[in-house]
Structure 1
């Protein structure tokens, strides 16, 4: 079982979108029983809340379920519970790395990287935050391509 955690700032826009999109791609690939998926945020402002209205609207239009999703914050045990921790931007990656360093040797071996590390042709390092930009479509396109590449990577590494 491979375990993937998507991380953004508040866990209401980008990371739940990535969780839902990746879950759909994994199901379509027939790998739902071998890949576990979750999302979290580095901040605590939205804990317990559903995805942002813009994320919900976009996912609903595409027939992608977000049922049961609620924002949560990154936890210390995420580093040992997940194989891949995929951050939406450089700031999230730095924050997650700081948490990992503060835990020390017991942090686990999760691979930490940004989603767009897998999409170099995007010409950007970070998935823009639609909470501020309002551009959920752009985020969806980046997330969808990144999720395709992540699935390829997991298949190659298995």
Structure 2
């Protein structure tokens, strides 16, 4: 069985591609690329086909994490059937993705287990959303959150796949 992870933010140029790149790097370090697939998408179409934002690229470069070939894309209804973990970078994107996947209906408990906000991985931080560095220019802080949260997500995925630590 292979785990498939999708990170979602607004434009798919700052937070979600940062999380995709960091998670891919952590998966590579854990030698699990054959068992865990990672992607990212956005809920808005302003930046389709564009590479990650310069601030995201700078942070990834500083940490020697590849962002080669990454291009912004939209989240689609089919993503719900493709991905096992759909991690939204904030509550607004979670709302929009739920609406895309389920219309006005409520998600079941099983569906909610697969679809959640990134900050649910870091409850001790006491914040609901990963701040959008596109507006706040706080790329180093966002990187710290993303790095920590991806480590927690990797632990969860490994446990779900019953992989040895």
Q: Is 1:35 matched up with 2:43? A: no
What is the TM-score normalised by the length of structure 1? 0.95
Q: Is 1:45 matched up with 2:46? A: yes
Q: Distance in 2 between matches of 1:43 and 1:119?
A: 25
Q: Count how many residue pairs are aligned between Structure 1 and Structure 2.
A: 155
| Mapping for residues 1-158 of structure 1, pairs under 5 Å | 1-102=2-103, 111-158=114-161
What is the TM-score normalised by the length of structure 2? 0.91
Q: Distance in 2 between matches of 1:103 and 1:36?
A: 29
Q: Distance in 2 between matches of 1:156 and 1:64?
A: 25
Q: Distance in 2 between matches of 1:123 and 1:22?
A: 22
- Contact 1:41–1:73 (CA under 8 A) maintained in structure 2: yes
Write out the 4+ residue segments of structure 1 that deviate beyond 6 Å after TM superposition: none
User: 1:102 Cα shift?
Assistant: 2.9
- Contact 1:10–1:41 (CA under 8 A) maintained in structure 2: yes
Secondary structure of the 1:10 match is coil
Deviation string, structure 1 residues 41-73 (Cα, Å, up to 9, x no partner): 000000000000000111111110000000000
Secondary structure of the 2:103 match is helix
User: 1:103 Cα shift?
Assistant: 9.9
- Contact 1:76–1:103 (CA under 8 A) maintained in structure 2: no
Secondary structure of the 1:24 match is helix
